[in-house]
Structure formats: C-alpha cells, structure tokens
Amino acid sequence: MAPSEFDEKKSLAELLDEARRELAACKAIGQELVRKRQESWEELAGREAVLAMQEDRKLAERYLEHPNRDYRLAALEILRDHWKTGRQSAATWERLLDTDEDVVVRGAAATALGSLFESTNDRRIGRLLARIVEDASQPEGLRTSAYLALRELVEGWEVATQYMLTLPIGAGLPDDLDWSLVSRFSDAAPANNPRE
C-alpha cells in the first residue's frame, strides 16, 4: 500500500506505529549517507586531516590550496557540506572552477555553484557555467559537470538529479544536451533575459 492510501481497517495506533517505523528507516538511511560521506572524505585526505578540517573552518579553507588535489576536493566538500558555508563561498567556488589545475576539483566547484544557486536562474553564474559547456577545448567531464550545474541552477536539484540518473555512468556530454538552455546564458544572449 502506498503511504498516501488510507486503510480504514487500521487503527490510529497502527498507523502511528507504521509512520514511526518509516521515520526510523529514513533516519537510518540519513545516518548511513553521513557515514559514507565521512568515509569518502577520509579516503581522500586521511582521517586526521578530515577531523581537523571539521574542527577548524579556517584550516579547511587553507586546505583548498593544498598541492594534492584530493585534499582540495575534501576541503571543498567539507566546507560545502559540513560547514554549510553557503553564498559566502561563491567567490571561492568560482576561483576554483576558473583556476584549479585539476579537472575533478573544477568539476566539483561547478557542481557546488549549481547547488548554491539552485533554482535561481542567476545570470552571472549561468553565464560562467554556459561558457564552460560551450568551450570545446575544456575537458568533457568538466563540460558535463558545468551542464548539470546549469540545469540545477535553472530547474532545481530534484529535476537535475533525475536527469543525471538517466545518464550512463562515466558518460560525457549528453546526446540530448539542451543547447537552448545553454544559449540562454551564453555571452550572445540578450542582457534583458526575463529569467535574470
């Protein structure tokens, strides 16, 4: 039975017990996701460095300059997900997207920007992401990350994630890439775009 269906034969107590079991299952999934995320960070930068970054935000920010890309990637994710730095990190994510030497870190920065400006249609961030998607000299993985971030910027996390899940693992730019979406934010798009 779907959760929204009502079974007249169940008592209120039975329904409450069922809801409690479903809530406990959801909490367990959330706890497992947190555990997996922590393991992922520790695989990247080691337990000691991760715990230190989780204790000291300024230290996490300094790790964004670490010579090893795995430490930079862990720092970006810790700042985004643990410290929840929000819009104050926009300039940092833009700098990493533009200047980091590693394509994986740049892709993570694009994704962070898409999440940060989810469903806002932010013209400046959209233009930044569209330029990368349009630039055939950029690595395909980075262009794909920028495209998915652009979709999140416009359509929101849920729609962008549903779309991403339809893509084959390790796929490059999607065959059904929506160039009209990209062109809305390209340099050639009119400045008075109603979706600004």
How many CB atoms within 10 Å of residue 164?
A: 15
pLDDT in tens, 25-79: 888 888 888 899 999 999 999 999 999 999 999 999 999 999 999 999 999 999 9
pLDDT at 19: 86
pTM score of the predicted model: 0.79
Query: pLDDT tier at 3 (50, 70, 90 boundaries)?
Result: low
Domain boundaries, the chain: 13-84, 85-196
CA 79, 118, 32, 28 dihedral sign is positive
- Distant-in-sequence, close-in-space partners of 94: CB < 8 Å, separation ≥ 6: 109, 113, 128
Say which DSSP state 87 is in: G
Tell me: domain 85-196, CATH 1.10.8, correct?
A: no
Q: Using CB atoms within 10 A of its CB, is residue 183 exposed (0-12), middle (13-18) or buried (19+)?
A: middle
Please say if the pLDDT value at position 136 is more than 50. Answer: yes
- Using CA atoms, how far apart are residues 105 and 61, in angstroms rounded to an integer? 14
pLDDT at 194: 34
